[in-house]
Amino acid sequence: MDWRSGPAGPLRGSVGVPGDKSVSHRALMFAALADGASHIRGFLEGEDTRATAAVLQQLGVRIDAPADGERVVHGAGLHGLRASDDPLDCGNAGTGMRLLAGLLAGQAFDSTLIGDASLSKRPMRRVTDPLTAMGARIDTRDGLPPLVIHGGQRLHGIRYELPVASAQVKSALLLAGLYAEGETEVIEPHPTRDYTERMLAAFGWPIAFEPGRARLSGGHVLHATGVDVPADFSSAAFFLVAASIVPGSELRLPAVGLNPRRTGLLEALRLMGADIRVENEKTSGGEPVGDLVVRYAPLRGVELPETLVPDMIDEFPALFVAAAAARGNTVIRGAAELRVKESDRLATMATGLRALGIQVDETPDGATIHGGTLAGGTVESLTDHRIAMSFAVAGLVAQEPVRINDCRHVATSFPGFMELANGCGFALGVAD
**C-alpha angle with apex 207: 205 to 209, nearest 5 degrees?**
150
CA distance 109 to 115: 20
Are 91 and 48 contacting, i.e. CB atoms less than 8 angstroms apart? yes
Q: State the alpha helices, DSSP H only, in 246-287.
A: 264-271
CA distance 202 to 68: 24
Task: Walk across the sheet containing 227-228 and list its strands.
Answer: 62-64, 70-76, 35-41, 227-228
Residues labelled as active-site residues: 314
Enter the DSSP assignment of 410. G
Q: What is the dihedral of CA 383, 389, 393, 398, to 10 degrees?
A: 10
3-state secondary structure of 342: coil
CA distance 358 to 328: 12
Are 394 and 326 contacting, i.e. CB atoms less than 8 angstroms apart? no
Q: Name the nearest CA neighbour of 350 among 91, 365, 239.
A: 365
Enter the DSSP assignment of 6. E
CA atoms within 13 A on the CB side of 50: 11
Q: Show Cβ contacts of residue 217 under 8 Å, excluding neighbours closer than 6 positions.
A: 157, 177, 182, 183, 184, 206
CA distance 73 to 62: 6
Q: Show Cβ contacts of residue 12 under 8 Å, excluding neighbours closer than 6 positions.
A: 249, 250, 251, 424, 425
